Chains A and B, each alone.
Chain A
Amino acid sequence: MAEESGGVLGAADAPIVLEMRGVTKRFGPVTANDDVSLTLHRGEVLGILGENGAGKSTLMKILYGLYTPDEGEIFVDGERVEIRDPKDAVSRGVGMVHQHFTLIPPLTVAENIVLGAEPRKGLSLNLEEAVRATEELSQRYGLQVDPRARVADLSVGVRQRVEILKALYRNVRILVLDEPTAVLTPQETEDLFAVLKVLVADGLSIILITHKLGELLGVGDEITIIRDGRVVDTVKAAETNERELARLMVGREVLLRVEKEEAQTSEEVRLSAENLSVRSGTGEEAVAGVSLEVRGGEILGVAGVDGNGQTELAEALAGTRPIEGGAVYLDGEDVTRLGADALQGRGLAYVPEDRAAKGLVQDFALYENNALKTYDEPPFSRFGWIFPKIMRRRAAESLRAYDVRPADPDARAGSLSGGNQQKAVLARELSGDPGVVIAAQPTRGVDVGAIEFIHRQLLKQRSEGKAILLISLELEEIRSLSDRILVIYAGRIVGEVGPDATDEELGLLMAGHEIEEKSA
């Protein structure tokens, strides 16, 4: 048994441990999975690749019993099974590591691992046994953890190990990992992949869900590509390349460059930060001494892996998060201590990354959202009173101008699609003729049509001489829109490159390699 090798060789000849046939899942009018079939062999790493919203997670939730499929069958070890809930899944040997961890922070690692399948000694919980079992699994698979540590005190990478151990403790033979690298540093990602190799060598089979192309080539055996809920193709990792995967995933040749005019960058610095430091909500130093300058007529892109201080940087610059140290200047004025209200009065527009919780009051009407920042200024307000009629009229104009559908000022913001919600945010932020625009993840979770619209609007602002700071996780977006690109890593700017920088250059910077190393 131990001879069974992981990796590329031999896996396809190994017995089939899991088969999903013709799985279809609908949510109302939306078909999330349409006749999806896939096959997993023993000792294999199967990659499932697809864009956000392609239906990967839905498929895996079906496998794990969190959703019931409308059609289709699942076979585990050749036997047809009904998986009604996670308990069923685990009893069939299927375990899952969710994108959002399902751990209980105040409990210890060992307690988390045995929860629901506790070792007992008489009436009581046998904690010594739990610790021992954890240590044993931890050593066997190279997953270093302290069984007695509180999960709340652990880093994200270690928490993920606990999640994997939780599944292993339940003797799963098939392990599903949903976007496991989204929250990991490059080093942690490498460690994870090393662990996966040990697991498949031990005879486990792994399904790895991701939208990152490169990763799968290194660790996967086969790759199933899903687009719009359907399986597009299944390819062998050894016989494909990033270009082909990208084409399959998005359905067109990528590198669709946005048409953009030559930059008319002015000399004048509109927004700048000097040695800025900011703490995150949990009190850690999220931004550590960032300096940057944005000039009129340019788009400055900030690239980086998620969770490297982008959120806190944007919020601090926009005045919605306290600044620990350093200074922020807007059109030459020191605005470090000013709040969002004062900044917006000085011509700063801010498209926040969390549209649902910050950009809009979901249960306000669109006209109220349109006045969310200017409700206290004429003509919307005088002497403490507000004038909803005027708010409605103005909203109707700007909603039409920004193609928000429906352009009904009385529609509840929460009833709009993501793309239209984002357009409503842009309508509010840009129609006031701001001098500086901070756009954080402006196209996250919106449809393709809206993406193009949003990109055009940002470029329009640029050609009007506005200074734009674009923060995005989407490299392609950063590259196609920006005039200069800063790379942020662990709260620091690790380098600046032009929009023509190669993947390798950007990749190294995003992994925290300083620019000096590269040029040396």
Chain B
Amino acid sequence: MEDFLGAIGPILQSTVRNATPLVFAALGGLFSERSGVVNIGLEGLMLIAAFAGVAGAHFSGSALVGLGTALAAGLLFALIHALMCVTFEADQIISGTAINLLALSGTGFLMVVIFGAGGTSPRVNGFASAAIPLLSDIPIIGRALFDQSLLVYLMYVLVPVVFFVVFRTPFGLRLRATGEAPEAVDTAGVNVARMRYYGVALSGLLAACGGVYLSMGLLSAFTENMTGGRGFIALAALIFGRWNPIGAAGAALLFGFGQAVTFSVNEQAIPIEFIEMLPYLLTIIVLAGFGGRAIAPAAIGKPYRKE
């Protein structure tokens, strides 16, 4: 029993760490998809930002500057996605796939150009753990929740904020409406293209936070393809959480917990590959169970062309 309680703390701490990048990216995907633009480029947006953050921090020596460059890079690539999908009416799935490939090859390219070689970048100043006094002293959960990187605390704040914005503000109402019935939004005098640009731009900023957390929160360096499919797990969390911020965060925590448990088990009771599969499998089951379409924003994936 003692051992069990002793193990919970670290597992919870690891759960939060695994979940944080997923939560950021899933919240980002939520803004994009609620506006009607599929964003399977989350993976790429995170990766680009993870690199840009490290590059910014490397040259400035400041983690905050790194965060700034990461946000700028995430925003830039999200805007490329928006430009393609909204303005040029390209296919959203194709554009998202291209963003992923561009991020992977682009960061590889820049690693060589900037740092002289691929693989892993030099170490930079990151967002180290900073325990919150008192709160972090709570038994068991204290250290897990409140002895974390600043970016984790940002994540705690963002989940309710995103919920409020999406469900309690005029902006959120318009955003949701745009993802459901753009022609109705248009006749109500709201600019559909602008709402979609907002949605995709926000997804870039939030995915960038997730990327920065990977390269400057968990680690203090960039390694090639360090997202390793987390963008797709975030997408899975978004779907699993039924396009709701609380649901998506919950799903991300669940996926993070799964990984935390595996890492803490020494014996190969369950091969790690099967745990890695879990988020993807669960999402497929959820999709099949709910009949897919019924729960996604109705106009998602379709360019809106005015008459």
Contact = CB atoms under 8 A, between A and B. Distances in A.
Contact of B189 (A116, A120, A124): A116
Interface string A49-68: 00000000000010000110
A98 B188 CA distance: 12
B187 interface: yes
B183 interface: yes
B45 to A, nearest CB: 27
B170 A102 contact: no
Given A87-B189, A115-B173, A125-B173, A102 B181 contact: yes
A123 B171 CA distance: 10
A124 B307 contact: no
B170 A86 contact: no
A25 interface: no
B168 A115 contact: no
Nearest to A67: B307
A118 B188 CA distance: 11
Contact of B174 (A86, A106, A115, A166): A115
B170 A125 contact: yes
A104 interface: yes
A124 B164 contact: yes
A96 B185 CA distance: 14
B188 A166 contact: yes
B90 interface: no
A105 B180 contact: yes
A96 B187 CA distance: 9
Contacts of A86: 186-189
B219 interface: no
Contacts of A105: 180-181, 298
B177 A104 contact: yes
Contacts of B172: 125
A103 interface: yes
A61 B307 contact: yes
B158 to A, nearest CB: 16
B307 A90 contact: no
Interface in B68-92: none
B176 interface: yes
Interface size class on chain A is 20 to 34
A125 B186 CA distance: 20
A107 interface: yes
Contacts of A90: 189
B180 A104 contact: yes
A103 B189 contact: no
Nearest to B177: A104
A293 interface: no
A96 B174 CA distance: 20
Residue among A90, A107, A115, A120 with most chain B CB within 10 A: A115
A61 B186 CA distance: 13
B184 A104 contact: yes
B190 interface: yes
A96 B190 CA distance: 16
Contacts of B173: 107, 111, 114-115, 118, 125
Nearest to A61: B307
A124 B169 CA distance: 4
Nearest to A86: B187
A67 B183 CA distance: 15
A247 to B, nearest CB: 33
A229 B154 CA distance: 61
A86 B173 CA distance: 19
Interface string B188-200: 1110000000000
B226 to A, nearest CB: 37
Contacts of B184: 101-104, 112, 115
Residue among B169, B177, B188, B190 with most chain A CB within 10 A: B188
A120 B176 contact: no
Given A90-B189, A104-B177, A118 B170 contact: yes
Contacts of B180: 104-107
A98 B187 contact: yes
Contacts of A106: 176, 180, 298
Given A107-B177, A111-B173, A116 B188 contact: yes
Contacts of A114: 173
Contact of A116 (B168, B176, B190, B307): B190
Interface string A74-101: 0000000000011100100000101001
A90 B186 CA distance: 12
Given A90-B189, A118-B173, A125 B183 contact: no
Nearest to B167: A125
Interface string A108-130: 00011011111010011100000
Contact of A125 (B169, B185, B307): B169
Contacts of A98: 187
Contacts of B190: 115-116
Contacts of A115: 173-174, 177, 184-185, 188, 190
A120 B307 contact: no
B187 A102 contact: yes
A125 B298 contact: no
A269 B186 CA distance: 53
Nearest to B189: A87
A105 B176 CA distance: 11
B215 to A, nearest CB: 33
Contacts of A120: 170
A164 to B, nearest CB: 14
A85 B189 CA distance: 8
Residue among B181, B184, B185, B186 with most chain A CB within 10 A: B184
29 contacts: A61-B307, A86-B188, A90-B189, A96-B187, A101-B184, A102-B181, A102-B183, A102-B184, A102-B186, A102-B188, A104-B184, A105-B180, A105-B298, A106-B176, A106-B180, A107-B173, A107-B176, A107-B177, A107-B180, A111-B177, A112-B184, A115-B184, A116-B174, A116-B185, A116-B189, A117-B188, A117-B189, A125-B169, A166-B188
Given A103-B181, A118-B170, 17 more contacts: A61-B307, A98-B187, A103-B184, A104-B185, A106-B176, A115-B173, A115-B177, A115-B184, A115-B185, A115-B190, A116-B185, A118-B173, A124-B164, A124-B169, A125-B170, A125-B173, A166-B188
Interface of A: 61, 66-67, 85-87, 90, 96, 98, 101-107, 111-112, 114-118, 120, 123-125, 166
Interface of B: 164, 168-170, 172-174, 176-177, 180-181, 183-190, 298, 307
